[in-house]
Structure 1
Amino acid sequence: MQSLYGYLKRFKIGNTTFFLSVAALVGLLSGIGNIVFVEAVEHAHWFFFDVVGNNLLNLQQGGWHRFLIILLPVSGALLLIPLAKLFPGLVNGYGFPKFLAEVHLKLARISPLRLIANTLGAAITIGSGGSAGREGPIGQIGGTIGSVVARWLKLSTKRTQVLVGCGAAGAIAATFNAPIAGVLFAEEIVFLGEMKLNTFSLFVISSAIATAVSRTYYGAESIFHTPNYIIGGPMEFPLYALLGILIGIFGALYKRGYYTTWEFFNSLRIPKALKPVLGAFLVGIIGIFMRDVLSDGYDVIRGLINGNLMNYSLLFLGLLVLGKILATSLTLGSGGAGGMFAPSLFVGAALGAFSGKLFALLFPAMHISAGAYAVVAMGAFLSSATHAPLMSIFLLTEITGNYSVMLPIMIASIIGTTVSQKLFHDSIDTHYFTLKKIPIERARETAALHGWTVGDIMDSKPTCIYEGASLQAFVDGLNAHQLTHLPVTNKDNKVVGILSISDVKSFMFRDDLWRLLIVSDIMRDDVTYLSESDDILSAQEKFDFLEIEDLPVLDEDKNLRGVLTRNRLTQFIRKKTLEDRSYEASISEL
């Protein structure tokens, strides 16, 4: 059956026009998907906290009633059990690593059931008080929309991946009313920082359309409106640098805390379905004493950056930071559904407010605004967790509508991300792949080149030079085969050295030495070589590290088996990467 894309080409519709139109369609659907998802979360929150919490449990009365708040996240976790049975593998936990794996390792074939599973799972978890964010699920929902549209049009894997990026960009743009951040989310996080001009324009179209849909429904007001904070000039920049260091330390703690908790719950020998219930129970205990850490915490964030909650003590702000990190780790590490963005913004705002109040006490003459530090720390902490500084910087300036804080956010973000990477190398989204030894950064090449070795592609009839040959014979051999190096062999055909054109240049204009010297006189015996069993990507890394154009292939006894050139290797990688449409990595444990 002919694809719609192929059918439309008969009407002379160009590729550019077609894909811009499809990107706009994906943006439209992502914007609508965002509205449905947000309404689901809001209604779930209303049901759990207003209907159940206030009307049935009388939580608003305080006293002993506040202990009943444990029932809210626990009841939400119990509702996840039948949902997880209905949508196996699509409900529990922080699902963004699995989403990335599906995009890069599973040909971007994302199940449309994810639309329902992500919406209901995250709405129940967040609505019942689980400490998680909306943004990860909505990004996955948008990406799934892009995948479904691409499969309907019967597009190639590469184009399907691009439409997944369009959907994710549109969804994030719509949920935050931040089109630039949506584009950068797709480029830095979904596409792992691989920015390309031809995809950028499609992401822009999708983000713009999705944002327009969101603004039509919700209005154009920024999601976190802030006062016009006045930054104290260059004198205050060292304090933002200190803030960046602090953020980097806590960013690493945030990432390590989540993965440690995740591994702990994985190791528990209890039914998998009950793990989110245990996590929710522990989160509920935290909520008894710090209700602010429950759900996505948007209201608390608004209060911190507007200054309305600046009456909180330094001790309580510090406890908010630790409490939110712990509650988020317990919620998502145990199998609750949701994302990491909102908790990152919450922790950043609380940490920034803490730092701002502390700096104001230490330096009263500087008239420091703690709210400004909360805004800056939100972006910087998100950057330290996701390793996406551009997205974080523009997200904060767009969602606050306050561009005066951009320079401090840049300072704190770069420093915070650098420190965070030093202490915990991976981002919150990619560390899982390190644990499972899945090279997600080179996913497409890894998939295409799986099983291929140096022995499969080397030149098995290599050119070499005998150690007793003249230098002129060596040069003639290089010219005849367009090589820069030749392995040197002895009479037993074992490689004893290597010689390059640069090694003989100094003797070319000295006739006496040119005629007298032989190859063994000037060859190098420190031979760097490949083995036939070496995989293709490790061979490429060796070429890149040595900055060399050809390498001999030797066996264990130093017998010459072949030669591999950089050009031959590069052409093979390019060919296989373009051809591959079938390999799927094993990610069943995600």
Structure 2
Amino acid sequence: MRGPGQIEFWVIALMIGICAGLAALAFRLGIAALQRLAYGTDDLTMATVAGHLPWWWVLAVPIMGGLVVGLVLDRFTPDGRVRAVADVIEGAALEGGRVELREGLASAAASVITLGTGGSSGREGPVVHLAGVISTLVANRIKASPVTGRELLGCAVAGAVAASFNAPIAGALFAHEVVLRNFAIRAFAPIAISAVAGTVINRLRFGGMTEFNLPQAGTLSFYIELPAFMILGLICALVAAALMAAIFRAETVANRIMSRTGWPRWLRPTVAGALLGLIAIPYPHIIGVGYEATSAALTGRLDLWTAVVFALVKAVAVAITLGGRMGGGVFSPALVMGALTGLAFGILATSIAPQSSGNETLYALAGMGAVGAAVLGAPISTAMIVFELTGDWQTGIAVMTSISLSTALASRMVHRSFFLTQLKRRGVHIAEGPQVWLPQKMRVTAVMRDIGSKTAPSADLLRNMVADGQMMADTLTLEQALRHFDQSGGAFFPVVREDGPTPEILGAVYHIDALRALNAALGEAAAEQHG
């Protein structure tokens, strides 16, 4: 009932960070092992090696991977859908910091198979949810309150992101900005501890090297060149919006095809794998996370036409992968798209004004952050990820200029971010704030006065109201009940269960009780965010 004390909680946060870091490391090594088994190499040289493999093998591997993914998701999830960051955000807001356990483990397995056998997505989404599974087990074990459960979830996410990207600052900020969606001071210390623990796990295995090695420090002709980075930010917003729209369109089209044809759910990832295999034959850079293509863009080893074509093909491949419900996340593909877009823009910009321009790879770096931030709807943590991935902190003004404008424009074109748009498409409206989603989560039975209690209306009065059709079902949410009160003007209504032939009266819900419950919940949410 009391919950862990501060020191105890910090110890728990440390252990969760270590476990999340180990899970992220195992996830990454699992993908690399499967890629070496299927293609003879890992993501760092995937495009080069896959380009020399027999065409029939490049086609067959994603088909086999899609089949296995389809069978796994069909067996272990009720809807055949991979769980990722959006589900963790929903769990933080609506489920007391808990996520689905069995479905989360199945999603992690499906994503390893997807990325190891030719899928074109990222590893951060499933890793974040896998970390949520770890924190959920701990929260259930210690019977954590919703507030504590959310903080544990934030710790796990921070540890996983930090371990996945070797980025401790970004891991801590990602947990606050994307998952918890607040910067509560009380949660900062344990989340930072978990992020550091996750980073240590990564560096024990891979050392302190950054993910991408830039050949030289970027140079920026201040003031004169800043308008170019502002234009790049706006272009990146359009690219990010197009990428997200393509994914959602692919999801809608695939749903419609499945509905009309009656195909089994397990066949959907298989068909997606076949399409990816066909694309990978001429364009092997789409396979996996895409680190080789990103590195080539950041080091300027691609020409203008190649960068544009690679970006277009990558967008199609990502839409097929995620729309086909294979597995993986969207952030790494966004980084690839951003780097390619930034390089293409940089080649044009530096050729137009070579005397007053820096190098085109600086535009690739800024583009990587701009598209990534627009997709995540998280400019702060994305900027930190870009800096920590590359180790280049000298070009912050250029990167932040592009990121700020890209995020501002993209948030007007989609529902604030890819993840919040995903939730909105499922009918979960978290972006509007707790005043909207809290009454959607609460049930009238939680504020009901039981029949026969001293404060409830008489049983005869309630029966008469039910006979006149004045009642509320016990399945109604507080939002629906408050809307009914506003429309009817009544002070209270009977609450009934409608399972049998006649409604069973459970009690009565008062308008004033519903308002008090909502006010208390909003006060608790505000105290958590500002505590």
- Mapped to 1, the partners of 2:430 and 2:116 lie a distance apart of 32
Question: Is the counterpart of residue 69 in structure 1 residue 62 in structure 2?
Answer: no
Among 171, 195, 206, the residue aligned to 1:218: 206
Contact 1:69 1:288 in 2 (8 A): yes
- Mapped to 1, the partners of 2:83 and 2:447 lie a distance apart of 38
- Mapped to 2, the partners of 1:571 and 1:171 lie a distance apart of 39
Question: Is the counterpart of residue 394 in structure 1 residue 357 in structure 2?
Answer: no
Question: Is the counterpart of residue 194 in structure 1 residue 187 in structure 2?
Answer: no
Question: Is the counterpart of residue 284 in structure 1 residue 273 in structure 2?
Answer: no
One-letter amino acid of the counterpart of residue 185, structure 2: L
Question: Is the counterpart of residue 164 in structure 1 residue 153 in structure 2?
Answer: yes
- Mapped to 2, the partners of 1:343 and 1:354 lie a distance apart of 17
- Mapped to 1, the partners of 2:349 and 2:109 lie a distance apart of 43
Question: Is the counterpart of residue 298 in structure 1 residue 291 in structure 2?
Answer: yes
Q: Give the 3 Å change call, closer, same or farther, for CA 357–220 of structure 1 in structure 2.
A: same
Among 385, 404, 417, the residue aligned to 2:394: 404
Partner of 1:203: 191
What is the CA distance between 1:103 and its match in structure 2?
A: 3.3
Contact 2:24 2:127 in 1 (8 A): yes
What is the CA distance between 1:114 and its match in structure 2?
A: 4.8
Among 318, 328, 347, the residue aligned to 2:337: 347
- Mapped to 1, the partners of 2:83 and 2:343 lie a distance apart of 27
What is the CA distance between 1:539 and its match in structure 2?
A: 12
In percent, how many aligned pairs have the same letter? 23
What is the CA distance between 1:51 and its match in structure 2?
A: 8.6
- Mapped to 1, the partners of 2:227 and 2:141 lie a distance apart of 53
What is the CA distance between 1:83 and its match in structure 2?
A: 1.8
What is the CA distance between 1:100 and its match in structure 2?
A: 2.8
What is the CA distance between 1:88 and its match in structure 2?
A: 2.0
- Mapped to 2, the partners of 1:238 and 1:72 lie a distance apart of 45
Partner of 2:319: 329
- Structure 1 range deviating more: 437-446 or 426-435: 437-446
- Mapped to 1, the partners of 2:282 and 2:97 lie a distance apart of 43
What is the CA distance between 1:313 and its match in structure 2?
A: 2.9
Partner of 1:363: 353
What is the CA distance between 1:230 and its match in structure 2?
A: 1.2
Partner of 2:118: 129
One-letter amino acid of the counterpart of residue 187, structure 2: T
Q: Give the 3 Å change call, closer, same or farther, for CA 569–334 of structure 1 in structure 2.
A: same
Contact 1:231 1:404 in 2 (8 A): no
- Mapped to 1, the partners of 2:480 and 2:89 lie a distance apart of 23
Question: Is the counterpart of residue 95 in structure 1 residue 40 in structure 2?
Answer: no
SS at match of 1:440: coil
Question: Is the counterpart of residue 141 in structure 1 residue 116 in structure 2?
Answer: no
- Mapped to 2, the partners of 1:195 and 1:404 lie a distance apart of 26
- Mapped to 2, the partners of 1:106 and 1:420 lie a distance apart of 28
Q: Give the 3 Å change call, closer, same or farther, for CA 537–180 of structure 1 in structure 2.
A: farther
What is the CA distance between 1:255 and its match in structure 2?
A: 1.0
SS at match of 1:225: coil
Q: Give the 3 Å change call, closer, same or farther, for CA 178–51 of structure 1 in structure 2.
A: closer
Q: Give the 3 Å change call, closer, same or farther, for CA 555–234 of structure 1 in structure 2.
A: closer
What is the CA distance between 1:440 and its match in structure 2?
A: 2.1
What is the CA distance between 1:216 and its match in structure 2?
A: 1.6
Contact 1:348 1:382 in 2 (8 A): yes
Contact 2:70 2:265 in 1 (8 A): no
Contact 2:83 2:129 in 1 (8 A): no
CA deviation digits over 1:144-174, x for unaligned, max 9?
1111112122212221121111101110011
- Mapped to 2, the partners of 1:91 and 1:47 lie a distance apart of 26
One-letter amino acid of the counterpart of residue 158, structure 2: A
Among 344, 347, 362, the residue aligned to 1:372: 362
- Mapped to 1, the partners of 2:446 and 2:160 lie a distance apart of 41
Contact 2:248 2:323 in 1 (8 A): yes
Contact 1:189 1:388 in 2 (8 A): yes
CA deviation digits over 1:78-135, x for unaligned, max 9?
1113322442248744633233333333333334435642332111101111101011
- Structure 1 range deviating more: 91-100 or 320-329: 91-100
Question: Is the counterpart of residue 317 in structure 1 residue 307 in structure 2?
Answer: yes
- Mapped to 2, the partners of 1:91 and 1:554 lie a distance apart of 39
SS at match of 2:394: helix
Partner of 1:15: 5
Partner of 2:244: 255
Partner of 2:520: 575
Gaps of 5+ in 2: 450-471, 493-511, 526-531
What is the CA distance between 1:256 and its match in structure 2?
A: 0.8
SS at match of 2:143: coil
Among 230, 238, 244, the residue aligned to 1:241: 230
Partner of 1:415: 405
- Mapped to 2, the partners of 1:61 and 1:568 lie a distance apart of 70
- Mapped to 2, the partners of 1:172 and 1:316 lie a distance apart of 31
Q: Give the 3 Å change call, closer, same or farther, for CA 271–174 of structure 1 in structure 2.
A: same
- Mapped to 2, the partners of 1:365 and 1:264 lie a distance apart of 48
Contact 2:121 2:318 in 1 (8 A): yes
What is the CA distance between 1:180 and its match in structure 2?
A: 1.0
What is the CA distance between 1:208 and its match in structure 2?
A: 0.9
- Structure 1 range deviating more: 285-294 or 105-114: 105-114
Greater RCO, CA 8 A, separation 6+: 2
Contact 1:360 1:369 in 2 (8 A): yes
- Mapped to 2, the partners of 1:289 and 1:354 lie a distance apart of 21
CA deviation digits over 1:542-579, x for unaligned, max 9?
9xxxxxxxxxx9877xx9979xxxx9987542435689
One-letter amino acid of the counterpart of residue 222, structure 2: G
Across the two proteins, how many residue pairs are aligned to each other?
A: 469
- Mapped to 1, the partners of 2:403 and 2:324 lie a distance apart of 29
Q: Give the 3 Å change call, closer, same or farther, for CA 83–228 of structure 1 in structure 2.
A: same
- Structure 1 range deviating more: 364-373 or 408-417: 364-373
